[in-house]
Amino acid sequence: MSEPVNAESAVLQKTFELRILRYTPGRDEEPAFGSFQVTGAEGMTVLEALQTIKDTLDGTLSYRWSCRMAVCGSCGMMINGTPRLACSTLLRDLPPGPVTVEPLQNFPIERDLVISVDAFVKKIESVYPYLIPKEQKTVAEGPHLQTPAQMAAYESFSDCINCMLCYAACPQFGENPDFIGPGAMAMLQRYNGDSRDGGRQKRLDTIHGEDGVWSCTAVGICSEVCPKQVDPANAVNQNKTNSAFDFFLRFLRTEQPQ
Amino acid sequence: MEIFEADVLIIGAGGAGLRAAIAAAQADPSLTIALVSKVLPMRSHTVAAEGGSAGVIQAHDSLENHFNDTVHGGDWLCEQDVVEYFVSEATAELIQLEHWGCPWSRKPNGQINVRAFGGMKIERTWFAADRTGFHILHTLFQTSTHYPSIKRFDEHFCLDLIVADGRAQGATVLSPSTGAFTAIFARSVILATGGAGRVFRQNTNGGIVTGDGMALAFRHGVPLRDMEFVQYHPTCMPGSGILFTEACRGEGGYLVNKDGYRYLQDYGLGPVTTEPRNKTMELGPRDRLSQAFWQEERKGRTFVTPQGESAVYLDLRHLGRAKLKERLPLIFGLAEEFMGLDPAETPIPVRPAVHYTMGGILTDINTATPLAGLFAAGECSSVGIHGANRLGSNSLGELTVFGRVAGQEAVKFARGAPAVDPARLADQAKASIAKALSVRDRKGGGERHSVIRKEMASTMEKGCGIYRLGPEMQETCEKLAELKRRAEHITLDDRSDIWNTDWLAALELGYQLDVAEAMAHSALLRKESRGAHQRLDGFEKRDDERFLAHSLARYRPGAAPEISYGPVKITKSQPGERAYGARGEQLEKKDGAHV
């Protein structure tokens, strides 16, 4: 038994124009823009506009989405040239006029707004993204102690939703697709900064190389576009220091083996 | 078609599927575990769980208390032996997550902190700010990468199970990215595909929550149990349905009507207190709170939002900005970003929306379904802990406790099962592929799937909402039958191979319609009111004589599901009056029982 719901027409409606970069492999020679007029609630999000297009105008439009609340990380795309989450971008907050929607920059396009995620996932996997316990403990022995101050050392990095906006913004990644990149560096620092973890050395070894932390040219735009204030640039900076220090220590170790 | 031979196949890589995969990999590293997910695992809807996960940890709490809260909260429709097992294992799983790195919020001394939650007598909800599901999911996903025997099939959509010789032996999957089909053969199969809340209009669920696994099992003869019990979460964003966690109230938030009145006191949840009091007012259970909203609306004491939805206010102002930012940062951001308001200054308009399916694929305490070799865990399953109404913070615990059990049991089964016969099974996979392709390539001017989906969601809301009426449920059942007929003629805009999400959505709609039918028919025939199933047509009372029983919906091709009933396992808590607030405390004193 439903509640008396007011007519949808009572909601303030507005028409928006979206210019969307379209590409279907095997059919299109190269990506090209398509234009759509969408009428919907004045407060509608870019994602809701895409859904309206797909449901009523053109079912072939392809994009990823799920949670609608900026936590699953699926719907990253370039909106007016900036990497953003479509679900948390309200059309009314954008400048008047047509809104340009493109797939995340720096990634291969699979179709329309869908980009290839495989290389990103491999990067995440390459930094040992799990706790390597400092001390082995059984469940019967209970949880570790970890003070709020100790948590603060890694907490923001653990908030990364893997949305890849930082990669789309990163000029270095744009030039070198093998660059480990800000998101994976945040992941690395999430564990290296954790008081329960003992895997620091192992992880640092993954980022000394030419595609590692030193490739970063300290532009810092990764942190600017991050929708979760993870501050991956901070993770990169900390690891430049750590990597340098580690390199130096290693040198000492080779000189005076114990 | 490609072939992949696994020992254990897990479909779904949210909290339950990942926990199952890790448990299976640990139980026998020599087995190959195929882990299929239609999205990247970290996109799974576990990610959106906010408030926390229950596990007894305080000295003045007890397993008995958690058991009683859960059974009372479920209006005695719980499997009590399963609840007893659940509460006894929940804390160990939370500690295990801690050992894997989950950033649980801490007290100043470094110990685990817990918060109050609805319907819980003592604070026992472990939390990671208000991103608990997010952190559990990412912790499990990241931990799973440590196990080489787990072969992930990320972004693979399941078309059908493979069932031969009376047992589950695999599944046929499609990669939207490449357009390739794979038949995955296995000696045991776990379904961990989550709920089905998207069959309703206003819901808290992600777009992927379409009941796939429930429908797959159902179509292969496995009953769906207690499907009429659908949870409305009382505090959601009007319009989109986005969730504002119960932790808002656990931390001390108020619910007030348009006049600023804490209306829950009028619905047996008082007395009013300034500080949060367990099992009282805003810390009552979700079914009662959503029902109170509905009553308030009928009394004209709600207001209408710009989205055209009725709403009340969730008032968090008195908690102060610092506490809100520390304990409820996600909520704070949602209010700011999506509603343009500052919750430290302005009350948040909220209303109930569909959140959770208490019912699901019938399993026993070991997560085994009646189909040999098929196991189920998490929201897609009905292992029996939630009864007629789930308590907040019991679902994340369910994922890990029963995810682990499913992983271990599936390994046990796989070791004892004969090897699969690939040649025979391949034919079945090919038939599933042909069937799916026929949906994609169907010609003719049929409707869009979006039209049918919208009608399904609105008829479910009308007939199977917070309060239900016989004739309206009947109408919903008939409407669903009509929609199923119309769905057979859907034609797609998109016939391409790569990322054809038009096609996937049409296949998901097929799953949704089957699940919706199971819900509506189970609801129609339950002629009583219990937990989340409340009727206003002469069946306002709980009827233990006739309906202290689980409904079982069985699939019938081309016809409405058949509904029958099975017994409820009562071990130590006899059905009694389910009360909260002052009345609850009175009852507890009277019979010395834990309420």
Please report residues of A whose CB lies closer than 8 A to that of B92: 139
Chain B neighbors of A24, CB-CB under 8 A? 496, 498
Say if residue B582's pLDDT is above 60: yes
Q: What is the pLDDT of residue B591?
A: 67
The reply to whether residue B42 touches residue A73, judged by beta carbons under 8 angstroms, is yes
Closest to A174 in 3D by CA, of A236, A119, A107, A246:
A107
The pLDDT of residue A239: 85
CA-nearest residue to B462 within chain A is A2
* Residue B593 binned pLDDT confidence (cut-offs 50, 70, 90): low
Q: For residue B96, which residues of chain A lie inside 8 Å, CB to CB?
A: 139
User: By three-state DSSP, how is residue B561 classified?
Assistant: strand
Nearest CA in chain B to A137: B99
Q: Please give the average per-residue pLDDT across A103-127, as a whole number.
A: 98
Q: Of B371, B391, B422, at which residue does a domain stop?
A: B422
Q: Give yes or no: residues B286 and B260 share one domain.
A: yes
Over range A242-256, report the average pLDDT: 70
Segment A35-62 mean pLDDT? 96
Nearest CA of chain B to the CA of A170: how many Å?
22
**Chain A nearest CA to B414, separation (Å):** 27
Confidence of residue A242 (pLDDT cuts 50, 70, 90): confident
For B154, name the nearest residue in chain A, comparing CA atoms only.
A118
Residues of A in Cβ contact (< 8 Å) with B208: 66
How many pairs of residues across A and B have Cβ atoms under 8 Å apart? Answer: 193
Work out how many domains chain B is built from and give that number. 3
Closest residue in A to B305 (Cα–Cα)? A11
The CATH code of the domain that includes B338 is 3.90.700.10
Nearest CA among B232, B233, B273 for reference residue B254: B273
Q: Are A106 and A177 in contact (CB under 8 A)?
A: yes
Encoded tokens for B60? 């003045």
Q: Which residue of A has its CA nearest to B334?
A: A69
Residues from chain B that touch A144, judged by Cβ atoms under 8 A, are 98-99
Asked whether the beta carbons of residue A121 and residue B40 sit closer than 8 angstroms, the reply is yes
- Specify the pLDDT at position A217: 82
What average pLDDT score do residues B480-501 get? Answer: 97
Whether B351 and B243 share a structural domain:
yes
Residue B185 has pLDDT above 50, yes or no: yes
Closest by CA to B327, choosing from B78, B50, B59, is: B50
B347 shares its domain with B361: no
Active site residue B321: no
Question: At A254, is the pLDDT very low, low, confident or very high (cuts 50, 70, 90)?
Answer: low
Which residues fall within 8 angstroms of residue B502, CB to CB, at 6 or more apart?
Answer: A54, A59, A60, B449, B492, B493, B494
Structure confidence at residue A7 (pLDDT): 42
- What's the rounded Cα separation, in Å, for the pair B47 and B49? 6
- Whether B153 maps to a domain, the answer reads yes
Answer whether residue B556 is part of any domain: no
Closest CA to B390 of B504, B259, B306, B286: B286
Question: Quick one: pLDDT at residue A245?
Answer: 78
Q: Show residues of chain B in contact with A146, CB under 8 Å.
A: 106, 110
* Residue B364 within a domain: yes
Which structure tokens are listed for A219?
A: 């532009």
Q: Mind telling me how many Å the CA of A236 is from chain B's nearest CA?
A: 20
Would you say B540 and B529 are in contact if contact means Cβ atoms under 8 Å apart? yes
Task: Decide if B142 and A129 are in contact by the 8 Å CB cutoff.
Answer: yes
CB B130, CB B51: distance < 8 Å: yes
Average pLDDT, integer, range B269-292? 97
Binding-site residue positions of B for FAD: 12-17, 37-52, 212, 379, 395-396
Residue A9 has pLDDT above 90, yes or no: no
Task: Please say if the pLDDT value at position A258 is more than 50.
Answer: no
Q: What is the 3-state secondary structure (H, E, C) of B53-122?
A: EECCCCCCCCHHHHHHHHHHHCCCCCCHHHHHHHHHHHHHHHHHHHHCCCCCCECCCCCECEECCCCCCC
Phi/psi of residue A22, nearest 5 degrees: -110, 145
pLDDT-derived band at A128 (thresholds 50, 70, 90) equals very high
pLDDT value of residue B420: 82
> Chain A contact for B496, CB < 8 A?
yes
Residues B350, B366, single domain; the answer is no
Where does A11-115 sit in CATH, by number?
3.10.20.30
A chain contacts of residue B243, beta-carbon cutoff 8 Å = 69
Could B154 and A159 be called an inter-chain contact, meaning their C-beta atoms sit closer than 8 Å? no
| Chain A contact set for B200 (CB, 8 A) | none
Tokens of B545: 């004589």
Contact B263, B296 (CB under 8 A): yes
pLDDT of A213: 84
Say which of B48, B308, B494 has its CB closest to residue A6.
B308
For residues B175 and B153, what is the distance between their CA atoms, to the nearest angstrom? 8
pLDDT class for A102, splitting at 50, 70, 90? Answer: very high
- The mean per-residue pLDDT over the stretch A31-43 comes to 95
What is the SS3 assignment for B157?
strand
Same domain, B180 and B41: yes
Is residue B87 within 8 Å of residue B94, measured between CB atoms? Answer: no
Percent of chain A with pLDDT over 70: 93
Residues B438 and B411 in one domain: no
pLDDT of amino acid A8: 46
Sheet of B125-126, strands arranged across: B53-54, B125-126, B114-115
Give B106→chain A minimum CA distance, Å. Answer: 6
Tell me: pLDDT of A250 over 50: yes
Q: What pLDDT does residue A218 have?
A: 81
A147 → closest Cβ in B47, B108, B448 = B108
Say yes or no to pLDDT of B221 above 80: yes
Q: Do A147 and B177 touch (CB under 8 A)?
A: no
Question: Do the Cβ atoms of B201 and B179 come closer than 8 Å?
Answer: no
Q: What is the pLDDT of residues A177-232, one digit of tens each?
A: 999 999 999 999 999 999 999 999 999 999 888 888 888 888 899 999 999 999 99
Across-strand partners of B552? B225, B564
**Distance between CA B324 and CA B336 in Å, rounded?**
12
Domain boundary among B328, B355, B382: B355
Q: Which residues of B are annotated as a binding site?
A: 12-17, 37-52, 212, 233, 245, 355, 379, 390, 395-396
Indicate if the pLDDT at residue B592 is higher than 70. Answer: no
Cβ neighbours of A10 in B, within 8 Å:
304, 308
From chain A, pick out residues whose CB is under 8 angstroms from the CB of B100. Answer: 130-131
CATH for A118-255 is: 1.10.1060.10
Binding residues of B for substrate: 233, 245, 355, 390
- Mean pLDDT, chain A, rounded, equals 92
With CB atoms and an 8 Å threshold, state whether B206 touches A68.
yes
CB contact under 8 A, B467 and A43: no
Residue A4 has pLDDT above 50, yes or no: no
Which among A3, A111, A148 is the nearest to B106, CB-wise? A148
- Same domain membership, residue B535 and residue B448: yes
In-domain check, residue B243: yes
Residue B367, domain CATH:
3.50.50.60
Instruction: Name the domain boundary from B355, B383, B398.
Output: B355
Q: Over the stretch B66-91, which tens digit does the pLDDT of each residue have?
A: 999 999 999 999 999 999 999 999 99
B409 and B360 within one domain: yes
Other Cβ atoms less than 10 A from the Cβ of B277: the count is 16
Q: Is residue B201 part of a domain?
A: yes
One domain for residues B180 and B44: yes
Cross-chain CB nearest to B40 (options A114, A117, A150): A117
User: Which residue type sits at A189?
Assistant: Q
Smallest Cβ–Cβ distance between A144 and the set B43, B98, B304 belongs to: B98
pLDDT score of A6: 44
Half-sphere CA count of B215, side-chain side, radius 13 A: 22
N-terminal to C-terminal alpha carbon distance within chain A: 77
Interface touch B103/A144, C-beta < 8 Å? no
Beta carbons within 8 Å of B132's beta carbon, 6+ residues apart: B49, B50, B51, B52, B53, B126, B396
Q: How far is CA B263 from CA A37, B267, B391, in A?
A: 44, 8, 21
Contact A2/B461, CB-based, under 8 Å?
Answer: yes
Which tens digit of pLDDT belongs to each residue from B141-159?
A: 999 999 999 999 999 999 9
- pLDDT reported for residue A216: 87
Regarding whether B261 and B160 lie in a shared domain, the answer is no
Tell me whether residues A70 and B154 touch, CB distance under 8 A.
Answer: no
pLDDT at position A5 is: 46
User: Would the pLDDT of B381 be above 70?
Assistant: yes
Gap from B536 CA to chain A (nearest CA, Å): 9
Q: What is the pLDDT of residue B85?
A: 98
Q: Domain residues of chain A, as ranges? A: 11-115, 118-255
What is the pTM assigned to this prediction?
Answer: 0.97
Res. A240: pLDDT tops 90: no
**Any domain includes B245:** yes
Stronger pLDDT, A207 or B574, i.e. the higher one? B574
Cis peptide upstream of residue B352 (ω within 30 degrees of 0): no
State the complex-level ipTM: 0.97
Which H, E and C letters describe chain A, residue by residue?
Answer: CCCCCCCHHHCCEEEEEEEEEECCCCCCCCCEEEEEEEEEECCCEHHHHHHHHHHHHCCCCCCCCCCCCCCCCCCEEEECCEEEEHHHCEHHHCCCCCEEEECCCCCCEEECCEECCHHHHHHHHHCCCCCCECCCCCHHHCCCCCCHHHHHCCHHHHCCCCCCHHHHHCHHHHHCCCCCHHHHHHHHHHHHCCCCECCHHHHHCCCCCCCCHHHCCCCCHHHHHCCCCCCHHHHHHHHHHHHHHHHHHHHHHHHCCC
Residue B179 falls within a domain, yes or no? Answer: yes
Span B297-335, pLDDT tens digits: 999 999 999 889 999 999 999 999 999 999 999 999 999
Shortest distance between the Cα of A255 and any Cα of chain B, in A, equals: 34
- Among residues B152, B187, B201, B286, the one annotated as catalytic is B286
For residues B544 and B546, give the distance between their C-alpha atoms in angstroms, rounded to a whole number: 6
Q: By CA distance, what is A13's nearest residue in B?
A: B307
CB contact under 8 A, B497 and A26: yes
Beta partners for B559? B556
Residue B322 inside a domain? The answer is: yes
Residue B271 predicted with pLDDT over 60: yes
Distance separating alpha carbons of residues B530 and B388, to the nearest angstrom = 6
Question: Angle B15-27/B395-416 helices, nearest 10 degrees?
Answer: 40
The residue of chain B with its CA nearest to that of A62 is B501
Is the predicted pLDDT of residue A10 greater than 80, yes or no? no
**What does the pLDDT average to over B534-550?**
98
Domain that holds residue B484: 429-541
Q: Residue A115's closest chain B neighbor by CA?
A: B177
CB A22 within 8 A of CB A15: no
Please say if the pLDDT value at position A75 is more than 50: yes
Mean pLDDT of chain B: 97
Mutate to test the interface with B, among A42, A47, A71 (most CBs of B within 10 A): A71
Q: pLDDT tens-digit profile of A160-184?
A: 999 999 999 999 999 999 999 999 9
- Binned at pLDDT 50, 70 and 90, residue A241 comes out as confident
- B311-330 residues touching A, CB cutoff 8 A: 330
Per cent of chain B over pLDDT 90 is 96
Residue entry with tokens 């047992």: B167
